[in-house]
Structure 1
Amino acid sequence: MPYLGAFQFLFTKLSFYMYQIIQLKPLLAALSLLLLFSCAAPQQAADDAAAPANESGTAAQTAAEPETEIISLLPTFEPVPSSILDNGRMWTFEHAPVEYFAETYNFDPDDAWFERARLGALRLPGCSASFISPNGLVMTNHHCVRDQITQIGREGERTLDDGFYAVTLSDERMIEDYYLDQLIDIRDLTDLILDEVDSAPIEQQAQVRSQVIQRVQAELSAEFDESENIVVQVVSLFNGGRYSAYFFRRYFDIRMVMAPELQIGYYGGDADNFTYPRYNLDMTFMRVYEDDAPLQTPFFFPFAIEGVRSGDGVFVIGNPGSTTRLNTVAQLTYAGQFQLDIIHRFLFHTLNSLDAIFELDPDTDEAQQLRNTIFSLRNAEKLYGGQVLAHRDPFLMGRRTDNENNFVAALRDNEALAAEYIPIIERIAEIQEQKAGLAPYPYIMSIGMQPNSALSSALLQRALVAYRLVHQDLSTEARTQALAGLTAIQDRDPAHERLLIENHLRYLADLLGDDSPYMRRILNGHDKAEVAAALVQNSAFATQEQTEAFAETAFREWSDPGLDYFNAFGSRLYENTLMFQLLSQEENQLETRLGRGWFAVYGTSIPPDATFSPRIADGVVAGYEYNGTIAPAYTTFYGMYDRHHSHNTDPQWALPERWATPTPSLDLSTPLNFVSTNDIIGGNSGSPVVNTRLEIVGLAFDGNVESMGSSTLILDDRSARAVSVDSRGMLEALRHVYRADRLVREIEDARHQR
C-alpha cells in the first residue's frame, strides 16, 4: 500500500513519551497515580465553576447524595461468528507454517524453501523489495522510491516525471544515503528476556524489559565486525509474548537501474488510488553493489515463464508495518471512536494547507518534494478514513467480539490462565473509558507537532515547546535540552506559516466546535485567517532568530501570543495529556502481559501482529463481487487505454508521450494488474508475489478499498484484496515500450541461473 508503512508508525502507536521531557516530582507522580484510577467521566471545562470546598480543601459532598451512574463513552457490539484466521496470515519465518501451506496448497515447502524465500526478500526504509537476479538486481514499487528517483536526477532532468533507464551498467546511478536489509539469521530470545523481566517487580518490568533488550541487542551486535554491516534487531512478537533476534545484512551501495514515469507508476492518481480494477505500472529496479561491482547472490526470485490464473496459490514476502489484531475489543473500539478519527481529521486539514502551499509555487525543487509528501498523506488520509469506518462496523467489530469471547472462554478453561489474564482484559477496558474521558486534548499536543515536522507550523511547534517549558516541572538537564530543541526549529516562509496555522485552527474547531470556550478564547472575535496572520506578525516564535533572543529571558515570565494559543486551554491541556501518558504506559505494560496469554492459548497456530519485520503471507488469485458486478482477477493494457480514452480531458488518466500511441508490438491483452486474497498492509509495498516454485508472478503495491480500513484489525477476505503488478505486464512494458533490452535479458536469463 503506497507509503503506509512509515505513516502507520508515525500515527497508530501514539504516545507522548516520544518527547521524553515530562519529569514528575514525587508529589505530582503520587497525585497522578491516584487520579489514574478515578472515574473516567469527562472533566469539566476549565472555565466551569469549581465545586465548593470543605475545610480540608476537598470538594464538599452531601451524605444523602446518590452515586451517579457511570455511563460508558464507548459503544458495544453484538458477536458475529468468527474464524481464528481473522487474526491474519502474516506468518513469521521462525515459526514457518509448513503443514498449513502443504495442506492448503498441495506442495511440500521444506526448510530449504522457506530459507530461499527469506533470503530472496529484502527490506528497505518503509517498504519491501526482492532480489530478482544473481547479479544483485532488485525490484520494488515506484512509489517506495520516489524520493530516490528524484535524487538521482541531474541538472535539467526530471527523472520523477520522465522516468529513468540505465542503458549500460556504467549508467546505473548511485543513490545517496540509502540502504537495503536482508534477513540472514533468527535466534529465539524469549526465555532470556522474559526470565529477567519476570524476576523484576511488576512496576519495574517495563524498564527492565527495555534495558535487557538494549543490552542483548548490543551484545549480539558485538559478535560482528563493523565491516560486516550486520544490523541486529530484537523483535517483539505477540505483543511481548515472544522475542526474536533478527540479523540483517545491510547493503549501502544501491544504484538506480530503471524507473517508469510517475504518471504511469501512479496511473489514475488519487482518484484510482485504493481502487480496483487498476492499471498501474508501479515498479522500479535497482541494483546492489559490493566492492564497486554488482553483488553476486545465489538467493533471488526469477520471473515465472507462465503467469498466474484465478485460483492459483501465491505468496507475498515482505515487511507488513503494523496491525492491531491482538488488541482487545475495547482498545479497537476506543481507536475507532477517538484515536483514528482524530488522526483522520488532522490529515484532512493538513492536506488542505499543504495543497495551498504547493499551489503558491509548484515549480521549485521544494515543491516537488512537497508533492511526494502530499501523495503520501493522501494515502494516509484514505487509510485512516477507512479505518474509522471499519472500527465502527457492526459486522467486523462483531467478529472481533466473538474472537475475543472465544479467547476468554479458552482462558476460563484453565484456572491459572484465567486468574492471570482476564483481569488484564478488564483493566484494559477500564483504561479505554478513562482515555475517552481525556480526549481529544492529549492529541492536540502530539499529532504532527514534533519539532521540525513538515505537517505543522514552525511557530506553533516553538510555542508548544515553550508551553511545556512553562507548565512542566523539568530538571535542569531536561530544560536545557528543551530550550535547545526550541531554538533548533527551522524557519518557514511566512505565507506557508499562515496557511498551516489557519488550518490548525480549522482542525481544532473540528475537534472542539467553533463555539467551545477554548476556540472563543483563541479567536477572540476574529476569523481564523486574521488570527493566523496576527500570530505570524506579533509572536516572538515567528522566526528562529526572534526565538533565540526570547529564550534568553526568564522562561517563567514568558508572555507571547503563541503561548496564549495553548494557554487558552488552561490546565486541561497539560493535565489531560499527563494523565493520558500515564494511562498509555500502563496499557502498554498490560498489552505485553496479555500477549503471553494469546501465545499460551494458541501458540504458533496464529501469527503475531505485524511489526515491520519479514513475513510470508499466503493467498489465492481471485476476483470478487463489487458495485453490482464482478471485479476480474486481472486487468490488461486494453483497460488502461480504455481508462485513458474514457477520461480524455482529465490529466489523472493522461498517458506519458511514449505510451500515448501504443507500438504495434505491444500486446494489449497482456495482464497488467491482478488481485489476490493475500494478507497485506502498509510496509508490504514492493513485496514480491511468488508461486509455489518461488518464481515472481507479481509485485504487490496496494490494497483495494474494501481492505483499506479493515486490514489493521482483521483479515476480511470476502472482498478485501491485495493488488499487484503482473510480471507479464512488467516484461511486456520493458520490452516493447521502454526498449530496456539489457534489463529484459537479465530478468529472463535469471530463470536459468538458480
Structure 2
Amino acid sequence: MRLILAVTTALTVAATGARAEEGMWTFDNFPIARANATLGTSIDQAWLDRVRLSSVKFGGCSAGIVSDAGLVMTNNHCVATCVADLSTQAVNYAETGFTPRTREEETKCPGGTAEVLTDISDVTERVQAVGAGLTGQAFTRARDAEIGRIEQEACGDATDKRCQVVTLYRGGQFKLYTYKKYTDVRLAFAPEDRAATFGGDLDNFSFPRFAIDAAFIRLYENDAPAETPTHFVWKADKPVEGTPVFVAGSPGATQRLLTMDQLATVRDVVLPMDQLIASELRGRLIRFSAESEENAFIAMDPIVGLENTYKRGLGRMRALTDPAFMAAKAEAEDEFETRATGMDNGIRDGGMDLVGAGNPWAALSAVQPIARELYPTMALLEGGTGMGTTPVAGGSQLFGWARALVRGAQERAKPSAERLPEYGDARLASLQSALFAERPTYPALEQVRMEWWLSKTREWLTVDHPAVRGLLGQESPEQLSARLVAGTKLGDPAVRRALWEGGLAAVEASDDPMIQYLLSIQDETRAIRSDWETRVQAPTDQASERLATARFLTYTDSVYPDATGTLRLTYGLIEGSDVPGQRFGPFTTFAGLWDRATGAAPFDVAPKLLAAKDRIDADAVMNMTVSSDTIGGSSGSPVVTAAGEIVGANFDSTVLTQRNAYGYDRTVNRSVIVTTGAVTVALRDVYDMGRLVEELGAR
C-alpha cells in the first residue's frame, strides 16, 4: 500500500509540473532555482555550461571528460563493441583487459564517434510553419525536408561538427543541436569483462552490485590527444550518504507524454512482440555460443545486449500491467485534459480549440487501431517506429551495410530536400564514417541473425503476406540466409567504399547477392514505410503538437520533454531504498565482493582483480545508488557534485526503475553507479595503470 500511494502521489503531482528531483531536463531549460532549493546547492549558468561542455555522447552511451588531454570515462559495457572489434581468439581483451602502457598504445575504436554539445538554438517556428495545412506523408516529408535544410545551413560540409534538429515534447518544440564531433576515438583502458559484469544477468538491473563497469577512451584530433581544458575534476574520496549529485547524459527514450491510449498500444502490441522476439533471438545465440569456443567469443557481446533489452522490457511490462501505476497515469491525464479543455484556462481565448475536431486525445485514440495493425510489419521490415526494439534483420551488420549502400545510392540521386531524412546532405558524413569503418564480421553469426529474422518475419506476418513473398521468394529462411551471407563481399570495407563512391550505377551493376537482395525488396519496404508515415506518424505528430501546446499553456515551463537521446541533466541524492522488493543501503564495498564470490560463474571474480585482493582496501566503496531520473542510454553518464567533481558513472538501474520510461516515481527510482574510488583502486592496485591515475590527479 505504501508503494501504491507513493506511485499515485508522484504521478499525480507530475501532471501539474515536475516535482522535486523529477525530470530529464534539457540544458537550456534546467530549473536552477528549484534544484538549488531542493538540494541546498548553489549552481549557476556557468556551472551548467561547464557540465555541458564536459559531457560526451558516445554511440548509444554517455560519458564525461576527465582530463585536459581528451581522456573520457564511460562504462565498460559501452566500449564492449570496441573491445570485441580489437580482440581475437588468441588475444581476447574481454578476458585480459585492455591496459596500454603508453598513450601510443591506445588503439582506435573502429567507427567510434564521440560528440560534445556546443550550442542549442530554437527552430520551432520554422519547422512547424512548413507543415501548416498539410496532411499525411506530405506533412512528414515537408518537415523532414525543412529539417534537412536547417542542418545543412548550420553545418555545411564541416567534418568536425554535427548539426541535428531534435524533436522535443513530441512535436511541441524543435531545437537545433550543434555538436563538436570526434571521429578518432581510441580505447585507453578497459578492465577484464568479469570485473565489469560480476554477477552476470542474475545481478543485472538490481542492487547490491559489485561491478567495476568503467572504461576510458581518449578523443584525438589530427592524430594527437584533443585539448579539453573544460573537464570534470576527479574526486576519489569515499562517498557520503545524502550528498546531492547531478547526472549528465543522453537518455535514450521515455514515453511519459504518451496518452493512455498510446500506452495501451505499447502494452498490448509493442512490448509483447519485442519481448517474445528478443527472447527467441537470445536463445538462438546461446545455442550458437555453446557450439564452440569460437562461437562463444563471437556471441558474447550480442548476448549481453539482448539480455539487457529483455530485462528492460520486462520491467516496463510490469509497470504497464500494474493497476496502481496505470490508475495514477489515468488520473494525471484526466486532470490535464480537464484543465486544458476548461473554458477558464485561456487556451480557447488564445485561438486553440481542444474540443471537437481539434481534440488531440481523440485524434491519437483514432490512430491506435492503425498503429496496432501496422506495427509488426513496420518493425520487422523497416524499423524506425520510435516505439519498440525489434532489430531489422536481427541486427545483421552485413544487411545494415547493404541497406545503407542501396538506399544511400537511390536517395543521393535526388535533391537533398527530397530524400529520406537519414540520407540528407548534413547526415552523410556520419553515415560514411560508420560505413567505411574496418570492423570484423563473422559469417556464422550473421547467418544466425538473418535466418532468425526471416523465419520470425514469416511467422508473424504469415506466409500469405505480400511482403513475405517478396522477402523470401521460393527459398526457405535457411537457404536464403546461407546464400546471402556466403556470397557477399561487404565485409571488406574497400568493397563498401567502392560501391558508395560509385553511386547508383555501381550499386545496380553489383553482383553481390546481399546488394541485389536489398535492391529487390525496396518496393515492399518503402511502401511499408510510406504507409506508416501517412497513416500513423503524420496524424500522431500533428495531434502531439497540439497536445504539447496545450501542455505549455497549462503548465508553462515546469514541464520537461520526453528523453530523445539528447543531452539531459537530472539530480538527486546518494541514498538507498526502502520499499517492498527493493530494500538496501546506498553502498557496496570490496569486502562485499569477496563475500559474494563463489568461484563459479557468474560469481567468479576476474583473475587479475582476485590476484590483487590483498592490495585492496576491503572497505573501499565499489558501487552506490542515487535517486536520479535516468533510463537506458544514461549508461556512462558522469555523476558530479555541485563543485563540478566527478564521483562516479551511471551503469545500471533497478528493475523497478524501468517504469521510469512511463512515469517518475522517486520512491523506487535508483540509478546504480560505479564510484570513482573503485575505478581508482582498479587502475592503481589491479591493472598497473598508474599513468592514468596520475593524469586524473588521483592518489
Per-residue CA distance 1:43-84 (angstroms, 9 max, x = gap) = xxxxxxxxxxxxxxxxxxxxxxxxxxxxxxxxxx99996122
- Which one of 662, 665, 668 corresponds to residue 713 of structure 1? 662
**Deviation for aligned residue 1:336:** 0.4
**Any idea what SS the aligned residue of 2:205 has?**
coil
The answer to whether the Cα contact below 8 Å between 2:251 and 2:563 also exists between their aligned partners in 1 is yes
Corresponding residue of 1:82: 12
2: CA distance between counterparts of 1:90 and 1:78?
20
The answer to whether the Cα contact below 8 Å between 2:281 and 2:452 also exists between their aligned partners in 1 is no
2: CA distance between counterparts of 1:190 and 1:495?
44
The answer to whether the Cα contact below 8 Å between 1:352 and 1:503 also exists between their aligned partners in 2 is no
The answer to whether the Cα contact below 8 Å between 1:253 and 1:289 also exists between their aligned partners in 2 is yes
2: CA distance between counterparts of 1:142 and 1:452?
24
Corresponding residue of 1:728: 677
Per-residue CA distance 1:248-279 (angstroms, 9 max, x = gap) = 11112222221100011111111111111101
2: CA distance between counterparts of 1:695 and 1:146?
26
Corresponding residue of 2:72: 138
Matched, 1:536 2:466: no
Matched, 1:226 2:158: yes
Of 272-281 and 252-261, the range deviating more from structure 2: 252-261
2: CA distance between counterparts of 1:195 and 1:504?
42
Corresponding residue of 1:124: 58
Corresponding residue of 1:558: none
Matches for 1:584-663 after TM superposition, within 5 Å:
584-585=536-537, 586-625=539-578, 630-645=583-598, 648=599, 650-663=600-613
Which residue identity is paired with 1:431?
V
Call closer, same or farther: CA 1:676–1:78 in 2, change over 3 Å.
closer
Per-residue CA distance 1:208-253 (angstroms, 9 max, x = gap) = 221211111111113xx736x1211111111121121111111122
The answer to whether the Cα contact below 8 Å between 2:396 and 2:446 also exists between their aligned partners in 1 is no
Matched, 1:423 2:359: yes
**Deviation for aligned residue 1:434:** 4.3
Call closer, same or farther: CA 1:212–1:270 in 2, change over 3 Å.
same
- Which one of 216, 219, 242 corresponds to residue 173 of structure 2? 242
The answer to whether the Cα contact below 8 Å between 1:307 and 1:697 also exists between their aligned partners in 2 is no
Call closer, same or farther: CA 1:439–1:154 in 2, change over 3 Å.
closer
Corresponding residue of 2:396: 454
The answer to whether the Cα contact below 8 Å between 1:328 and 1:425 also exists between their aligned partners in 2 is yes
The answer to whether the Cα contact below 8 Å between 1:141 and 1:699 also exists between their aligned partners in 2 is yes
Matched, 1:262 2:196: no
Which residue identity is paired with 1:653?
F
Corresponding residue of 1:15: none
Corresponding residue of 2:297: 368
Matched, 1:197 2:131: yes
2: CA distance between counterparts of 1:89 and 1:335?
22
Percent identity over paired residues: 26
Which residue identity is paired with 2:69?
N
Corresponding residue of 1:432: 368
- Which one of 377, 402, 406 corresponds to residue 335 of structure 2? 406
The answer to whether the Cα contact below 8 Å between 1:139 and 1:286 also exists between their aligned partners in 2 is yes
Call closer, same or farther: CA 1:197–1:164 in 2, change over 3 Å.
same
**Any idea what SS the aligned residue of 2:565 has?**
coil
**Deviation for aligned residue 1:153:** 4.1
**Deviation for aligned residue 1:629:** 7.3
The answer to whether the Cα contact below 8 Å between 2:447 and 2:481 also exists between their aligned partners in 1 is no
- Which one of 626, 641, 652 corresponds to residue 702 of structure 1? 652
- Which one of 317, 326, 330 corresponds to residue 397 of structure 1? 326
**Any idea what SS the aligned residue of 2:333 has?**
helix
Corresponding residue of 1:147: 81
**Any idea what SS the aligned residue of 1:664 has?**
helix
Corresponding residue of 1:570: none
Corresponding residue of 1:215: 149
Of 301-310 and 318-327, the range deviating more from structure 2: 301-310
**Deviation for aligned residue 1:292:** 3.1
> How many residue pairs are counted as aligned between the two chains?
605
Structure-2-length-normalised TM-score: 0.77
Call closer, same or farther: CA 1:111–1:437 in 2, change over 3 Å.
closer
The answer to whether the Cα contact below 8 Å between 1:313 and 1:691 also exists between their aligned partners in 2 is yes
Per-residue CA distance 1:276-327 (angstroms, 9 max, x = gap) = 1101100001222233332222211112253432222111101011111111
**Deviation for aligned residue 1:172:** 2.2
The answer to whether the Cα contact below 8 Å between 2:234 and 2:676 also exists between their aligned partners in 1 is yes
Call closer, same or farther: CA 1:286–1:189 in 2, change over 3 Å.
same
**Deviation for aligned residue 1:443:** 5.1
- Which one of 671, 690, 712 corresponds to residue 621 of structure 2? 671
The answer to whether the Cα contact below 8 Å between 2:207 and 2:654 also exists between their aligned partners in 1 is yes
**Deviation for aligned residue 1:410:** 2.1
Call closer, same or farther: CA 1:441–1:683 in 2, change over 3 Å.
closer
1: CA distance between counterparts of 2:368 and 2:685?
57
Matches for 1:304-383 after TM superposition, within 5 Å:
304=235, 306-363=237-294, 368-383=297-312
Per-residue CA distance 1:101-145 (angstroms, 9 max, x = gap) = 121112222111110010010111111111111121110000001
**Any idea what SS the aligned residue of 2:308 has?**
helix
2: CA distance between counterparts of 1:126 and 1:534?
31
2: CA distance between counterparts of 1:278 and 1:506?
36
The answer to whether the Cα contact below 8 Å between 2:347 and 2:553 also exists between their aligned partners in 1 is no
Over aligned residues, Cα RMSD in angstroms?
4.0
Of 329-338 and 663-672, the range deviating more from structure 2: 663-672
**Any idea what SS the aligned residue of 2:602 has?**
helix
Call closer, same or farther: CA 1:348–1:444 in 2, change over 3 Å.
same
- Which one of 178, 181, 184 corresponds to residue 115 of structure 2? 181
Call closer, same or farther: CA 1:599–1:738 in 2, change over 3 Å.
same
**Deviation for aligned residue 1:681:** 1.1
The answer to whether the Cα contact below 8 Å between 2:393 and 2:449 also exists between their aligned partners in 1 is no
2: CA distance between counterparts of 1:579 and 1:292?
47
Per-residue CA distance 1:628-670 (angstroms, 9 max, x = gap) = 673111111111111113xx3x211111222224443310111
Unaligned regions of 5+ residues in structure 2, if any? 1-6, 384-389, 408-418, 421-440, 469-473, 489-507, 509-516
Call closer, same or farther: CA 1:432–1:503 in 2, change over 3 Å.
closer
- Which one of 31, 41, 45 corresponds to residue 107 of structure 1? 41
Structure-1-length-normalised TM-score: 0.72
**Deviation for aligned residue 1:384:** 1.4
The answer to whether the Cα contact below 8 Å between 1:242 and 1:596 also exists between their aligned partners in 2 is no
Corresponding residue of 2:412: none
2: CA distance between counterparts of 1:500 and 1:202?
36
The answer to whether the Cα contact below 8 Å between 1:129 and 1:139 also exists between their aligned partners in 2 is yes
The answer to whether the Cα contact below 8 Å between 1:120 and 1:300 also exists between their aligned partners in 2 is yes
Call closer, same or farther: CA 1:629–1:305 in 2, change over 3 Å.
closer
Which residue identity is paired with 1:161?
E
Per-residue CA distance 1:696-736 (angstroms, 9 max, x = gap) = 1111011111112x121111221221101011111122222
2: CA distance between counterparts of 1:534 and 1:235?
38
Call closer, same or farther: CA 1:662–1:627 in 2, change over 3 Å.
farther
Of 293-302 and 212-221, the range deviating more from structure 2: 293-302
Structure of greater Rg: 1
**Any idea what SS the aligned residue of 2:294 has?**
coil
**Deviation for aligned residue 1:176:** 3.3
